[in-house]
Structure 1
């Protein structure tokens, strides 16, 4: 059950309207790393969590807070759009600066949202549920959560430097702080999953004996750069081997003969024994019923 409180988690009141900045803030609402994404990510992780107790409670606490962040940002967007475009359009014809502001705003905020926020990013692309990660494996999910909070804080920091409005900056200062906390909590939760014996560093903690033992400890040098071997990953108690000149292990990536009914262009090149051409011809004859 969710219950709405008619107060914002933190104040969201700009000093003055700014339709252009309202469009920029849409990224923090409906972008790939926006508040809608982390809200739904944490909700589904929490709903799907099979471990009752501290991990599920942390997920649900944070998910519910993120709903409040969407509300804060939506309120800020509506207030930044105050007076636009209805009462500002006439002045825009006379004032080049105002015309530039109106020219940079998202028209859908007026046409579709009625002067309010939208579930979309700064380019007007609708939010997509495919942005979220909820795998059921808490270690994999918490790592994704830490990355999402890092990207979100990065974008918030960039937007912080794109405004001089004291009210907007105050709200973003709060958001920056909460993103800091959330990164810390997921990183600590990752450590605790391991100390509780629920997970080990590699996800999933299975099939280690089944995997190819020859290739589970090597880094292939496949770029012109030469410094990859100088990282800490090639040192310590469990170093990874850096292969300077790795060679392909498979044969040519040639697709099989196409179904004749699909009319795909095909001209097989025989190998040294002619087997490629022979097999291809046999496949075509079989498909034609000959």
Structure 2
């Protein structure tokens, strides 16, 4: 299902080293609301989702979150931040309590919506903490992708609640793929 592609999901440009901001970005690497937490949660939810199109959507978004994590790692290294490990900015190790264990499809999707909302808030906070134009572009990009994921998870919840036949969920996959083209044309 997954494949590795050498190019980053979005370019990471850093003008000046800023080890302290590199430390802050660890929140997105190994913190509670990190890309790693999101990817792990979505893969777990994917394994427990009965609708094959929702499984596909969760897999696509989980893979994208891993790509985001790689971008964060590159940014941290370019900033001269600390060695990478699964910790937050305070050095607290990542743990499984960060991953929702719900088995109900609506509950899983709600937890995923909430994860995206928290990640967006964190990106917005960190956007304000840097003056580096390249980092601002990257953070803006990552925040916009959180919004796309949140929208798709909300839409999936609505479709389930409306009793939509499983095969009609394929539209979510199409919308996801179209969002990648739209994001490419944002000129961020």
In the superposition, the TM-score normalised over structure 2's length comes to 0.84
Deviation string 1:20-66 (CA, Å, 9 cap, x unpaired) is 000000111111111111000001111222222x2111111101100
CA RMSD of aligned residues (A): 1.4
Query: SS of the counterpart of 2:29?
Result: helix
| Match among 137, 141, 144 for residue 174 of structure 1 | 141
Query: SS of the counterpart of 1:187?
Result: helix
Query: SS of the counterpart of 2:25?
Result: helix
Residue 131 of structure 1 deviates from its aligned partner by 0.5
- Does residue 188 of the first structure (1) align with residue 149 of the second (2)? no
In the superposition, the TM-score normalised over structure 1's length comes to 0.55
What is the match of residue 16 of structure 1?
16
Residue 118 of structure 1 deviates from its aligned partner by 2.1
Give distance in 1, aligned partners of 2:55 and 2:115: 18
What is the match of residue 77 of structure 1?
76
Give distance in 2, aligned partners of 1:45 and 1:183: 15
Deviation string 1:188-243 (CA, Å, 9 cap, x unpaired) is 11101111269xxxxxxxxxxxxxxxxxxxxxxxxxxxxxxxxxxxxxxxxxxxxx
Query: SS of the counterpart of 1:133?
Result: coil
Structure 2 unaligned segments of length 5 or more: list them.
166-188
- Does residue 125 of the first structure (1) align with residue 92 of the second (2)? yes
Give distance in 2, aligned partners of 1:178 and 1:79: 22
Q: Whose RCO is larger (CA < 8 A, sep 6+)?
A: 2
**Count of residue pairs the alignment pairs up:** 165
Give distance in 2, aligned partners of 1:171 and 1:35: 14
Any residues of structure 2 matched to 1:202-221 within 5 Å, and which?
none
Query: SS of the counterpart of 1:50?
Result: coil
What is the match of residue 234 of structure 1?
none
Deviation string 1:143-194 (CA, Å, 9 cap, x unpaired) is 0111111111001000000000011101001011101111111111110111
Residue 130 of structure 1 deviates from its aligned partner by 1.5
What is the match of residue 49 of structure 2?
49
Give distance in 2, aligned partners of 1:137 and 1:197: 17
